[in-house]
Structure 1
Amino acid sequence: MVRAISLQTAPEIKSTPDTIHQAFEDFMSGFEAFKDANDRRLDELESKMGEDVVTREKVERINRAMDAQSRLIDEMHLKKARPQLGRGMSLAASEHKMAFENYIRRGDEQGLRALEEKAISGASDGDGGYLVPDETDTEIGRRLTAISPIRALATVRQVSGAVLKKPFVASGFEAGWVGETATRPETTAPEISELTFPTMELYAMPAASASLLEDAAVDVESWIASEIDTAFAEQEGAAFINGNTAATPKGILSYPTVSDAAWEWGKLGYIATGVDAGFAAAAPSDVLIDTIYALKAGHRQNAHFLMNRKTQGIIRKFKDDDGNYLWQPPAGVGQKASLMGFPVAEAEDMPDVASDAMSVAFGDFAAGYLVVDRTGVRVLRDPYSAKPYVLFYTTKRVGGGVQNFEAVKLIKFGES
């Protein structure tokens, strides 16, 4: 028998092999309790022309508990997916790892300097820091994908330069049918434009004590990766959605928007709920259906909903005409919840439901958004600025922006 989820806090987690599966069972049990309570609330609305306060508070309490449990499962799944670094490395990689470890633990730069001279590398120096080993770089990128919602959905390109330039033809190439012997009319030359995606500097500065660095049992590469991945992912997540300065990637919500009926290239189309700061009282899910079918069929096949947990909590109460809930929980551990058959990605940087807010995005983000990574993560050891601690100034260059304005639609919580 599955245990009911606590309405106050997430259940205590024990380090057993089945913990994550038990947590998922608790989440599913919570969803059943949520449906029962919400059904009772809806029945009260129909029979009494008003909902009972106790019932409404119970629904919201279970809703919050489900969000907390979902967040707990995400954290446990991420920890379980973290591999041990340093296995099966080549001789050169092992040499780099050892030299990097000497630099991190003791500040010994000789090994890394010698390796860079041997490789005739001008990518870094003692003043600008040293590149982390390839294995650590790969692990940081992999964990960023697991944590950062937009990165996990978008197309990611690696570049060695500072800017990625991508040509495009907004109107498409002209084509047509002709007979076997008919003359071929001359087509109009396409107008080619260019999108630019500059990479911006993202940094984190974890601190370590002398005892941690002296402890031979501590894997310093894994420590570096685990310290900076969450910090990088949080900054990336915010920038990929709301970034609007010269120092950040350009976020999805920073582009001009227009009603989808008047959509044009260079702007993102939106569908309005028709109600200021909320969904329509009658048939609130109609705007979701309109948004789904505003997207072209080719993009719809790979589409996701994108919203934060609060917005998801509102939509979780919606039913279709047959009384079925439109939001469905994940089918298994590590999978996404779905809304009307499409997966839901959670991004806490998406705005809450408010007046004229663009709180929900729907689209093929792999086609619509491009993340640009400049190869290499750089670390500079600083034992002086925060004695007795050692700071590690860690930098990475990242860019991003919309590459296809047809592939993403927004829901605007406003009258028009």
Structure 2
Amino acid sequence: MTQTQTANPSKTAPEIKTIPDTMASAFEDFMGAFEVFKEANDQRLGEIESKLSADVITRDKVDRISRGMDEQKRALDRMLLTKARPALGGKAEAMSFEAAEHKAAFDSYIRRGDEGALRALEEKAFSIGSASDGGYLVPAQTDTEIGRRLQVISPVRALSTVRQVSGSVLKKPFAVSGLASGWVSETAARPQTATPQLSELTFPTMELYAMPAATAALLDDAAVDVEGWIADEVDIAFSEQEGTAFVTGDGINKPRGFLSYGSVAEAGWAWGSLGYIATGAANGFRSSGPADVLIDTIYALKAGHRQKASFVMNRRTQADIRKFKDADGNYLWQPPATVGQAASLLGFPVAEAEDMPDVVAGSTAIAFGDFQAGYLVVDRTGVRILRDPYSAKPYVLFYTTKRVGGGVQNFEAIKLVKFAVN
């Protein structure tokens, strides 16, 4: 049970309320808090219209309710993540004899360091991927489990295209300009058209590692799901590192984040950089028509990308936008329609990425685009584990590695909102 602030329409300020352990109840409380938030924010806006400034108590009330909603959303996210995890001792999916043999051999390696069975399996499969000190491939079930939970936690991975590769680098050709064409009469000559301009994009994979530790007693306990335990330990560590790299990574020993590429004003956009729309105010949104920049950003995208686009921002930026209304008094930000769905802004999904910058002068705190077309995540096949019972006695260390790369693959599919005058 988690303690947080939620809204109560009968009080002047939200009361402390226990968030229920069921997603349905938590979602119902979240929707109720949003209704109280709208009521309090309407009061704040009314005071601004009548007195040119909002009462301090009203402003603080709105902020408290907004923070309470953020806490409730975090609780919902945790519940969704917990639901995505398989229960210990749950019914195993049917697997082939080879998969079952690999799983049993891997379990022996993890628990007792017995690598004979795994080595025999790799020799039988003519595998040359494991050096003598390079560890062994995790069984497919664990490998898939880590990848799925990364997708739940890392919003950019969930939005982007993910490619599995067997090598260390993915090279992707991209047609910057399409085929030339033209109209001709029935009997006119057909001159040769221009060749499309191709650009080769390179996405190297970088090593991501985690090193959970276990006691010998834990490994000796046959009731413990060792593979599940490793996935639990590794998925959070990997996802946090990935989430940061996909947004702000510099490409040095890590994926290159989309914010690390150069950005230019949309009017002067060229391939190789991301276009941005300026808010017209250095430290935030304009006081008059603050949402206009969001509409301009939406329509800066071509229609084909706009249909699949999402907003990406952190919670603090979303809290500011949550207060915006259109000319008819309708809130532009809307809560999720059902449990597990994303909130929406102007009809487009909102993905919360805590690695996005805050609203400060010169920051690009909001991204909008078709990330499936615009950003590519490259996973090198296989998660490897090297068992080390010597370096940290009495603990056994599990050096777990995964190779991941990423970068922008289509520079016209992502646009940014920059908090600047121009």
Under a length normalisation based on structure 1, what TM-score does the superposition of the two structures give? 0.96
Q: Which residue of 1 aligns with 2:340?
A: 334
Once the two structures are TM-superposed, the CA of residue 5 in structure 1 deviates from its matched residue by 4.2
Q: Which runs of 5+ in 2 are unaligned?
A: 9-13
Q: Partner residue of 2:147? A: 141
CA distance in 1 between counterparts of 2:400 and 2:105 reads 17
**Contact 1:367/1:407 (<8 A) preserved:** yes
Corresponding position: 1:355 with 2:361: yes
Which of the residues 261, 277, 280 maps onto 2:286?
Answer: 280
The answer as to whether partners of 2:6 and 2:16 remain within 8 angstroms in 1 is: no
2:186 corresponds in structure 1 to: 180
Q: What is the rounded CA distance, in whole Å, between the counterparts of 2:302 and 2:376 in structure 1? A: 19
- Per the TM alignment, residue 209 of structure 1 is displaced from its structure 2 partner at its CA by 2.0
SS at the partner of 2:390? coil
Match of 2:375 among 366, 369, 386: 369
CA 1:9–1:371: 2 relative to 1, 3 Å: farther
The CA RMSD over aligned residues, in Å, is 1.5
Amino acid at match of 2:282: D
Partner of 1:11: 18
Once the two structures are superposed, what CA deviation does each residue of 1:255-312 show, in whole Å capped at 9, x if it has no partner? Answer: 0110000000001000000101200000100000000000000100000000000000
Q: Matches of 2:410 and 2:205 in 1, distance apart?
A: 19
Cα pair 1:131 1:377 within 8 Å, conserved: yes
Cα distance in 2 for partners of 1:412, 1:366 equals 22
Distance in 2, matches of 1:191 and 1:305, equals: 30
Question: Does the CA-based 8 Å contact 1:278-1:413 persist in structure 2?
Answer: yes
* Structure 2 SS opposite 1:391: strand
Verify: 1:224 aligned to 2:251, yes or no. no
Q: CA deviation at 1:168?
A: 1.4
Deviates further, 162-171 or 255-264:
162-171
The answer (yes or no) to whether the contact 2:357–2:364 under 8 Å persists in 1 is yes
What pairs up with 1:292-303 in 2 under 5 angstroms?
292-303=298-309
Alpha carbons 1:9, 1:68 under 8 Å: kept: no
Q: CA–CA distance in 2 between the matches of 1:301 and 1:58?
A: 37
Q: Which letter does structure 2 place at the counterpart of 1:268? A: L
Q: Which amino acid aligns with 2:260?
A: S
Q: Give the Å deviation of 1:191.
A: 2.8
- The question of whether the paired residues in 2 share the 8 Å contact of 1:85 and 1:221 is answered with no
Match 1:132 to one of 128, 132, 138: 138
Contact kept? 2:142, 2:227, Cα under 8 Å: yes
Q: Which residue does the alignment assign to 2:47?
A: 44
Q: Does 1:32 align with 2:35?
A: yes
Q: Could you tell me which of 116, 120, 125 is aligned with 2:122?
A: 116
Are 2:99 and 1:93 aligned?
yes
In 2: Cα distance, 1:182 partner to 1:286 partner: 50
Residues 32-88 of structure 1, C-alpha deviations (whole Å, 9 max, x = no match):
111111111111111222111111111111111111111110110111122358421
Is residue 162–residue 199 contact of structure 1 (8 Å, CA) maintained in 2?
yes
Q: Given residue 309 of structure 2, which amino acid in structure 1 is its aligned partner?
A: A
Opposite residue 18 of structure 2, the aligned amino acid is: P
Query: 1:188 and 1:89 mapped to 2: Cα distance?
Result: 53
Q: Structure 1 stretches of 5 or more lacking a match? A: none
State the alpha-carbon separation in 2 of the partners of residues 245 and 369 from structure 1. Answer: 14
Say whether the 8 Å CA contact 1:8–1:65 is kept in structure 2.
no
Identity, in percent, stands at 68
Would you say the 8 A contact 1:364–1:408 is kept in 2?
Answer: yes
Distance 1:245 1:251 in 2: 7
1:159-174 equivalent positions in 2, closer than 5 A: 159-174=165-180
Matched, 1:235 2:229: no
Kept after mapping to 2: 8 A contact 1:353/1:359: yes
Q: Which residue in the other structure is 2:257 paired with?
A: 251
Is the 1:85–1:222 contact (alpha carbons within 8 Å) kept by the matching residues of 2?
no
Deviations 1:108-154 (A, max 9, x none): 11111111011110111340111000111111111111111111000
Measured in 2, the distance between the counterparts of 1:8 and 1:221 equals: 42
Amino acid corresponding to residue 415 of structure 2 in structure 1: K
Cα offset for 1:4? 5.8
- TM-score, normalised to structure 2, is 0.94
The alignment of Structure 1 onto Structure 2 pairs a total of residues equal to: 410
1:287 and 1:152 map into 2 onto residues whose CA distance is: 26
Q: 1:398 aligns with which of 399, 404, 410?
A: 404
Cα contact 2:40–2:58 (8 A) shared by 1:
yes
Which aligned pairs between 1:202-217 and structure 2 lie closer than 5 A?
Answer: 202-217=208-223
What residue identity is the alignment partner of 2:310?
H
